[in-house]
A and B are shown apart, each in its own frame.
Chain A
Amino acid sequence: MAVLACDQVLVRFGSLAAVNRVGFTLEDSEILGVIGPNGAGKTTLFDTIMGVRKPDAGRIRFLGKDITGWKPHRICRLGLAKASQIMKPFSSLTVFENVLVGAMHGGGLNLRQARIRTDELLDFVNLSEYAARPAGKVFVAARRRLELARALACGARVLLLDETMAGLNPSETETAVTLLRRLRASGVSLIVVEHNMHAIMDISDRILVLNYGVKIAEGAPERVGNDPEVIRAYLGERISPSLREDDRD
């Protein structure tokens, strides 16, 4: 059974369809990459899945439950969480406390249990040394890991990652990619939106391509990378896994 399923999701802003009858499924322990030009509807899709926005039509099912129209906090507690660069952290609270909030409320743990879980998670994402620092005062790469830790603290089975690798240098990106792989290995499914083509092609099991709110391709990275319509809409030149071997030199 698919862990997450979107069925004909339609989101309109006035007469413009930002997400136009998009449907897809996400399997267990899978990384689904979502690509598309800016304005293609990726963030809107994420917002809709997370309950920030109600779709005008279509259904969203998570672990078999219909979560369409649910409030975000209920969706989070069920095990679906989002991390994104536009989500402001709790700036005056420490890094530790940021994750603690997720563990207590999203994860449903009491204060004592949540503290233990937070320690574990900060260790997992390598942020333990910054635990006492105010979240507003950590550098970008650490911020990203913080968002990830907080989302994980919610006990997430599925993570929606919206451009969480933006602003990272190559080595930081490499670290992020490794972290995501470890997550997949631990049973978490991911939907990743990125503009970093190499990273996303590298890490994804399947790729979904959106353009003007419409799904124009879906499948294995090599196939999608060679799809003429995708190339026309977005990629501009052929990107295939084999190319990356050459790039690494």
Chain B
Amino acid sequence: MKVQTARKRLLIWGVLTLLLCLFPAFVSSQYLLRVAALIVFWIGMAGCWNLMSGYTGYVDFGPVAYFGIGSYAAALVMTEGGRSFFLALPVAGCTAALVAFLIGMPTLRLKGAYFAIATFAFAETMKQITLEFDRTFGISFFQGSHGITLPIAPYGNAFFLYCALAVASLVLLAHHWIENSRFGYALKAIHEAEDTAELSGVNTFGVKLTAYAMSAFFLGVFGGIEAYWITYITPADVFSVHKTVQMVIMTLLGGMGTFLGPIVGAVFLTGVSEILGLTFVEYYLILVGMIIVGVILLLPRGIVGTWKERKRLRSL
């Protein structure tokens, strides 16, 4: 049964990916291409949050830290280093993963609320550091609130659709691997009963750190893509708590700790925000707030999670 579900998942994603690859051949509207790229981008981002928090249950309120680190790493590689985008991306990912490894070590010893606050504090610290570093030490590196301007990409939105698709596919591949592997069971065990997991031979600390660094790597890469895409980054932008909010609610709505969850959540919410548009930001946020409250009260497992639960109960 498990193998069938896995094959089905891969098939669905394979077909979708193919369709998305062919999309630019049939659609020339930059706007539609941008929306498509945005949806795929957020599928990947939500997936990153799901990889760590969805599976382990450790609520991370600071994933945007790694996104921002990736953005800055990529920007600096391309501006100061003069290197190509394709080198910048892996550097962005690795930088983020390295920082995650260092930060994860003290932080992952915390539980629940404290972990959430600590990760949030770290993200805000990163924002403040990039804002104030240059001014405090009298050098020119992060450029503070002036931000960094990257070389303009000679590609249209189709290129970024493909970039996002590639990385999002990797994130989903990671999900697929987790769903039926030793590592995946370790994550689930930690989520259910961490003490029991430790006593059953699961290296809980090592597993958490791995998931955290893995998630950070992909977030860093997405940060790099975003930097090149929007060409101009500032601390307030790339370390914005709103990005964390998006990741969290998309995964929550879709279903934490599931493969399809981030996909469902990202598609739905990106769609809604595009419909409501920029002029209705407050309405969008109020709606998001109501969705959050609604999901928590009525559908705590998210759409996919609840559907899976009903399916399981019916087969008993």
Contacts and interface: CB of A to CB of B under 8 A. Distances in A.
Direct contact of A and B (CB under 8 A): yes
Contacts of A71: 198, 203, 205
B181 A111 contact: yes
Contact of B193 (A90, A107, A108): A90
6 contacts: A71-B205, A90-B188, A104-B185, A105-B200, A111-B182, A150-B200
Among the interface residues A82, A90, A93, A106, which one has the most CB atoms of the partner chain B within 10 A?
A: A90
A102 B200 CA distance: 5
A88 B193 contact: yes
Interface string B188-226: 110011011111111111000000000000000000000
A102 B193 contact: no
Given A72-B198, A73-B201, A102-B201, A87 B182 contact: no
A90 B199 CA distance: 12
B185 A101 contact: yes
A91 interface: yes
B185 A73 contact: no
B192 A92 contact: yes
Given A104-B185, A110-B182, A90 B202 contact: no
A90 B185 CA distance: 10
B121 to A, nearest CB: 27
Contacts of B182: 104-105, 110-111, 114
Contacts of B256: none
B186 interface: yes
A90 B189 contact: yes
Interface string A174-212: 000000000000000000000000000000000000000
B101 to A, nearest CB: 19
A107 B200 CA distance: 9
A87 B198 contact: no
Contacts of B192: 88-93
Contact of A82 (B186, B189, B199): B199
Contact of B203 (A73, A93, A101): A73
Given A101-B186, A104-B182, A105-B182, A87 B201 contact: no
For chain B, what secondary structure do more than half of its interface residues adopt (helix, strand, loop), or is it mixed?
Answer: helix
A81 B201 CA distance: 9
Nearest to A94: B312
B196 A106 contact: no
- Interface size band for B: 20 to 34
B202 A87 contact: no
Contact of A106 (B195, B200, B205): B200
A91 B57 CA distance: 14
B2 to A, nearest CB: 10
B116 to A, nearest CB: 22
B188 A93 contact: yes
Contacts of A67: none
B179 to A, nearest CB: 12
Given A72-B199, A87-B199, A105 B193 contact: no
A100 B199 contact: no
B181 A76 contact: no
Interface in B229-285: none
Contacts of B193: 87-91
Contact of B196 (A87, A92, A110): A87
B132 to A, nearest CB: 39
B199 A101 contact: no
Nearest to B194: A88
A26 B205 CA distance: 30
A147 to B, nearest CB: 9
A152 to B, nearest CB: 11
Given A104-B182, A104-B185, A89 B196 contact: yes
Nearest to A160: B199
A50 B193 CA distance: 17
Among the interface residues A72, A77, A91, A151, which one has the most CB atoms of the partner chain B within 10 A?
A: A72
B204 A73 contact: yes
Nearest to A82: B199
A102 B185 CA distance: 10
A192 B186 CA distance: 28
Given A73-B203, A90-B188, A90-B189, A101 B197 contact: yes
Contacts of B189: 90, 93, 101, 105
Nearest to B312: A134
A131 interface: no
B95 to A, nearest CB: 29
A52 interface: yes
A101 B203 CA distance: 12
A77 B200 CA distance: 8
A73 B188 contact: no
Contacts of B186: 101, 104-105
Contacts of B197: 90, 101, 105
A100 B200 contact: no
A45 interface: no
Nearest to B206: A73
A97 interface: yes
B53 to A, nearest CB: 16
